[in-house]
Structure 1
Amino acid sequence: MFNFNGKLINEDDKILDAKNRGLQLGDGVYEELRIVSGEVIFLEEHYLRLMSSMRILRMEIPMNFTMEFMEEEMLKTISNEDLKHTKRVKFTVFRNSDNNSALARNSVSYIVTTSLLLNPFYILEENEYEVELFKDFYKNSSMLSNLNTTNKMLKIVGGIYAQENDYQDCLLLNEQKQVIESLNGNIFLIQKNVIKTPPLTDGCLNGILRKKMIEIISKLEDYELQELSISPFELQKADELFTINAIDGITSITKYRKKVYSNSVAKKLIGKLNAAARMSVSKAV
């Protein structure tokens, strides 16, 4: 079931193919969110990022496109029974056009899709998670790279490379060959008491949980946060690496080439991240 412009429709409805520039041309942006027992996690942050992305891409923002409207449309797509569970929701906005031509109007449409998640809050898995650099293509260090657009070809090809070579993830580089993120999300590197993450100017995704994690680490007395470029040579000197995104939370990297990492810092941070998620819901209430 889909929510297309407020109307619940079936997956085979042809309107999705006929009008969706996000599908046809990659001309769309989206937010992926967690809904726990009918409460949207980090709703305000996701809404503000969506509005910012639409402005950057010169999309027309409808007058009724408020945070309350976005929340209502997402909850509308979830049945009353499913509201008891944890859901992954994808809210995609794409530009309208005539006959899918390259020239577009600035008005927009949206689609809301959902799927089930098993855990209500973030769980730090202890599974093997080996990564490698993906060097076939680079991600440009521009503002467009900070946006969550529907054009994910780089990550798709990188994901196939990881699968073919038995890696759980790959690390992406920008044109200056600096590590900026993984296929799975933003990256954090820990060496002694310093925690580094690439700056947005390097081309990494402007992730909601990246921002939350920066806020959390900045309040810790035992660690120094640095938003600085990460060289591939630093990876084997690090004590710990982890990625983060709004759906999975923290994922600890266990191995890169011959380097094996611990996850002690990630274990300390996962509880604080869950606390921040709960706080976001209580503030909304």
Structure 2
Amino acid sequence: MINLNGQIVKEQDASISINNRGLHYGDAVFETMRYGNGKIYFWKDHYLRLKSSLKILKMESSENFSSNFLKQEISKTIAAQASLNSSYRVKLLVWRKAGGKYTPFTNEVEYAIMVEALASLTYPSNIGAYKIGAYDEHLVSSGELSTLKSNNRLINVLGSVFAKENGFDNCFLLNEKNNVVEALNGNLFIVSGKTIITPPIQEGCLNGIMRKQLITIVKSDTEYSIKETSISVMDLHNADEIFITNVIQGVVPVSRYNEKAFEDKVAKILLQKLNDLVTTN
């Protein structure tokens, strides 16, 4: 069951206009969230990012499109599932209403909410071997639009095809300055000594929710310092450790990049602190 503009319908019965602007122009944004323990993890950050994205894209949500309204709609969608589960992946998709070509007829929005059951309340710690490559056939633009979770994800799709063809679990993405920006499905962190480094938002990486949580954890509850600065391909080779973050998997340690194997000590420490955070708050 999915939620389409407030109506709970079977997935096979859900329909949108063939003139949907998300389909035609990528004129849509989304939030991917993790639900567990009866709550959406880091909901406030998700909601504020969504509202900021709508403002940047000049989409106009009604006064009813509030934090409480959306939380209720997500809860309603979860309650409608045939088999209730304790943990879910939630996707909230928002698009500008149909009409117009590049110039829209209206800036008002519609939405859909989809959920998918997850195996555990906590972030997984048994990722296993995780081999990553670099995808540089197309580059991320270091501009504000690249930081949004919009429907324009072609580079992520092509990078995923490349990863599958070459036996990688994931790939790094580079920007036009040949700096490493992020992974296909998450933000990038490297460890060098007692310093944890992640690219600044200005490099074109996603303004990730888990990125924000990890920066806060490192600053307040570890012996490591955090530094937001550009990362080169050589920095990857010289790193002691590399890990990727997103709201569904939490912290994913990279075990191998090219021919180098990496530790996962810091990733395990941060993952435990992250799981403590979501299970106690």
Q: Once the 2 structures are TM-superposed, how far is the Cα of residue 75 of structure 1 from its aligned partner?
A: 1.0
Does structure 1 retain, via aligned residues, the 8 Å contact 2:2–2:113? Answer: yes
Does structure 2 retain, via aligned residues, the 8 Å contact 1:37–1:83? Answer: no
Does structure 2 retain, via aligned residues, the 8 Å contact 1:21–1:27? Answer: yes
Q: What TM-score comes out, normalization by structure 1 length?
A: 0.93
Q: Once the 2 structures are TM-superposed, how far is the Cα of residue 50 of structure 1 from its aligned partner?
A: 0.4
Q: Once the 2 structures are TM-superposed, how far is the Cα of residue 171 of structure 1 from its aligned partner?
A: 0.2
Q: Once the 2 structures are TM-superposed, how far is the Cα of residue 14 of structure 1 from its aligned partner?
A: 6.4
For residues 272 and 221 of structure 1, what CA distance do their matches in structure 2 show?
A: 10
Most deviating of 33-42 and 132-141: 33-42
Moved segments of 4+, more than 6 Å = none
Aligned length: 279
Q: Once the 2 structures are TM-superposed, how far is the Cα of residue 67 of structure 1 from its aligned partner?
A: 0.7
Matched, 1:239 2:231: no
* Deviation digits for residues 28-74 of structure 1 (CA, Å, limit 9, x no counterpart): 11111111143111111101110010001000021011111111111
Q: Once the 2 structures are TM-superposed, how far is the Cα of residue 82 of structure 1 from its aligned partner?
A: 4.7
RMSD of Structure 2 on Structure 1 (CA): 1.6
Partner residue of 1:15?
Answer: 15
For residues 76 and 102 of structure 2, what CA distance do their matches in structure 1 show?
A: 32
Question: Where does 1:98-137 land on structure 2 (aligned, <5 Å)?
Answer: 98=99, 101-104=101-104, 105-137=106-138
For residues 45 and 8 of structure 2, what CA distance do their matches in structure 1 show?
A: 26
Q: Once the 2 structures are TM-superposed, how far is the Cα of residue 103 of structure 1 from its aligned partner?
A: 2.3
Does structure 2 retain, via aligned residues, the 8 Å contact 1:210–1:245? Answer: yes
Partner residue of 1:267?
Answer: 268
Partner residue of 2:155?
Answer: 154
Q: What TM-score comes out, normalization by structure 2 length?
A: 0.95
Quick one: which amino acid aligns to residue 229 of structure 2?
L
Partner residue of 1:25?
Answer: 25
* Deviation digits for residues 79-129 of structure 1 (CA, Å, limit 9, x no counterpart): 36655421111001000122x633211000000011110011112224111
For residues 192 and 25 of structure 2, what CA distance do their matches in structure 1 show?
A: 41
For residues 109 and 264 of structure 1, what CA distance do their matches in structure 2 show?
A: 44
Quick one: which amino acid aligns to residue 219 of structure 1?
S
Quick one: which amino acid aligns to residue 67 of structure 1?
S
Does structure 1 retain, via aligned residues, the 8 Å contact 2:32–2:90? Answer: yes
Most deviating of 7-16 and 42-51: 7-16
Matched, 1:34 2:38: no
Quick one: which amino acid aligns to residue 157 of structure 1?
L
| Alpha-carbon spacing, 1:129–1:24, altered in 2? closer, same or farther (3 Å) | same
* Deviation digits for residues 208-267 of structure 1 (CA, Å, limit 9, x no counterpart): 000000001112452111000001111111010000001111111000111100100011
Quick one: which amino acid aligns to residue 53 of structure 2?
S
Partner residue of 2:173?
Answer: 172
Does structure 2 retain, via aligned residues, the 8 Å contact 1:17–1:23? Answer: no
For residues 24 and 126 of structure 2, what CA distance do their matches in structure 1 show?
A: 36
Partner residue of 2:191?
Answer: 190
For residues 133 and 35 of structure 2, what CA distance do their matches in structure 1 show?
A: 32
Does structure 2 retain, via aligned residues, the 8 Å contact 1:36–1:84? Answer: no
For residues 243 and 219 of structure 1, what CA distance do their matches in structure 2 show?
A: 20
Stretches of structure 2 that go unaligned for 5 or more consecutive residues are none
